[in-house]
Amino acid sequence: MSHNIRCELEECQQYQLLAQRSGLGFSLCEYLRSLDYCRETVKEVFLQEHIVMEMVDLKLFGEAKAATCIKRQKAAQMAHAPLCVRVDFGGSSTQICLSVFEPEIHSFCRLGRIFVTYNALRNTWHCACAKPRISCPHKNIAKWHLFQTQRDIFKSTVPLSSSTPSQTTQESSSFEDNAAVERSIRYIFKEKKIPGSLPENVISQKMDHQKQFFPCETLCQVCPEHPKLDEAVLVTNKARIVSMMGVTENVSTHHRSCPQCHMVYRYQEWTDGLYNFDNHVVLSLELCLFLRENLQVRIAKIKYTHLKIALKMCLCHYDMLVPEFKYLCNHSLLHPIVILQNHVSASRVIDSLEGLRRVKFPSRDTIFHAYCHFEALTDAEYMYSCINCGFHPPCGSYGLTQKRGVQVSR
């Protein structure tokens, strides 16, 4: 078997081509020259077929993936190349690197081999051909290799058929928590909708906000018997109220839960002029509407007399318009539709408020996500369309702060 040593870096390959065109038949890049100082070679481990079938029995992956691994092993034997070898870089016990055979040439694999890395601390696999949590043949072959040579890595992986009672209890508890969160989200979306047209007394700025927030519900609104809710539990005493006047620190938020269905109730009363985002950040409705005015694109009709003034302010004289357009304006036959584009980002709005109030606001992403939640909970008719996405249906997504999503449609 003949050995062929090449470097797969693009700049090194271009260097080789340049050397050949210059008449230099033997020229090595710095990486190939460094191989002279390597004192060890990796040892090939022949992977047994019954090992991969044992992994199928243990539900580590399916039969189709096992068949692909065996097919790749036969292709490696035909090419006289090792299927998978372990390469130690610095002797790390937590970062394991394996070189896996690849029969085809790709942009991520130009020399017929690709690296698969396993992080033992995070229990994550990485391969250049797939996303972090997406399976691929190279990851499966690497798992096959480690399962045969270092099986203790997979001790934490318990088969589905032999789950312990404690694991079953944890899974059922997690399922109950997810169901309770979903009920809470649906209840808020149905009962706590913010009207599209808010009263003026609600929007008006309040200088003295309350420092403690409790849910107004005392009885469960979902259970048929309407049992009494548990005592209020403190979520945090470091919450902040963000308004046009600045930030109010050290605000306490509480929640109550139902003893039967375990549904969680939190403070969500728009009539107080506030919007509770995640029990840690509370926005004033005035700030939400101010962000909306800066972000949105409004369409308005302007009379022809106002158009003359606007054109002069824009340094465009009215006499420079075409005669047909002036005739329509002068005879009131045309009421131009002007698009007023604000397009001021939320971060710029908060930067302006910070400079004005000289107060440190929460992160821009947090405020923008809170504003998006406010819009999702607003009872508005979305009759607009996007040039990229088309018509926007009246639907909202809620529950991002709790790392769960529930699709809710009106």
Contact 336/301 with Cβ under 8 angstroms? yes
pLDDT: which is higher, 289 or 22: 289
Beta bridge pairs of residue 219: 228
| Sole residue written with tokens 């034997």 | 77
270 pLDDT above the threshold of 80: yes
| Sole residue written with tokens 């985002």 | 277
Cβ atoms within 10 Å, residue 109: 20
Cβ neighbours of residue 337 closer than 8 Å, sequence gap 6 or more = 299, 300, 301, 302
Helix or strand run (H / E) with residue 71:
helix 63-78
Dihedral angle computed from the Cα positions of residues 378, 379, 384 and 388, in that order, rounded to the nearest 10 degrees: 50
What does the pLDDT read at residue 213?
93
Q: What is the average pLDDT value for the chain, to the nearest integer?
A: 76
Query: 3-state class of 228 per DSSP?
Result: strand
334-351 mean pLDDT: 66
What does the pLDDT read at residue 397?
42
Q: How far apart are CA 148 and CA 83, in angstroms?
A: 14
Residue 60's pLDDT band (boundaries 50, 70, 90)? confident
pLDDT: which is higher, 122 or 312: 122
363 pLDDT above the threshold of 80: yes
pLDDT in tens, 385-401: 555 666 554 444 444 44
pLDDT in tens, 221-238: 888 888 999 999 999 999
pLDDT: which is higher, 191 or 94: 191
CB burial class (10 A; 0-12, 13-18, 19+) of residue 392? exposed
306 pLDDT above the threshold of 60: no
Contact 276/216 with Cβ under 8 angstroms? no
What does the pLDDT read at residue 38?
74
Task: State the Cα angle at 362 between 361 and 368, rounded to 5°.
Answer: 110
CB burial class (10 A; 0-12, 13-18, 19+) of residue 37? exposed
Helix or strand run (H / E) with residue 149:
helix 137-149
281 pLDDT above the threshold of 90: yes
What does the pLDDT read at residue 389?
61
One-letter amino acid for residue 73 of the chain = Q
- What percent of the chain has a predicted confidence (pLDDT) above 90? 14
Give the global pTM: 0.48
Buried b (16+ CB within 10 A) or exposed e, 324-363: eebeebeeeebeeeeeeeeeeebeebbeebeeeeeeebbe
Spatial CA neighbour of 145 closest among 69, 90, 94? 69
Residue 71's pLDDT band (boundaries 50, 70, 90)? very high
What does the pLDDT read at residue 70?
92
